Amino acid sequence: MRVRVTQQVVLQSKPHTTTVEGVVQSFGQQKTGSWFAHSEDNKLWIDRLRLKLDDGEIVCCNLDSLSRVEVVGE
């Protein structure tokens, strides 16, 4: 499935938006070694989406509440 992922990061009070488009290779929750998570095993579970871009590059997106994923093709 082909998707477009738009993510927003606020740097020094200025929003920065980035967009990538590619074919989904995998999606799931994975642990991260977050020292402040205070959950089981001191790990924080995050949603990760792995894409293969048109030029062959592999991109791993860590999704959050500001992430937007749109299907753009089949």
The answer to whether 61 and 48 are in contact (CB under 8 A) is yes
Task: Identify the three-state secondary structure at position 31.
Answer: strand
State how many domains the chain has: 1
pTM metric for this prediction = 0.79
pLDDT at 63 over 70: yes
Q: What is the dihedral of CA 31, 32, 34, 38, to 10 degrees?
A: 0
**7, containing H or E segment:** strand 2-11
Greater confidence (48 vs 73) lies with: 48
Encode pLDDT of 3-61 as tens digits: 999 999 888 888 899 999 999 999 999 877 665 555 566 667 789 999 999 999 999 99
Spatial separation of the C-alpha atoms in residues 72 and 35, rounded to whole Å? 37
* E strand residue ranges, the chain: 2-11, 14-32, 44-52, 58-63, 68-73
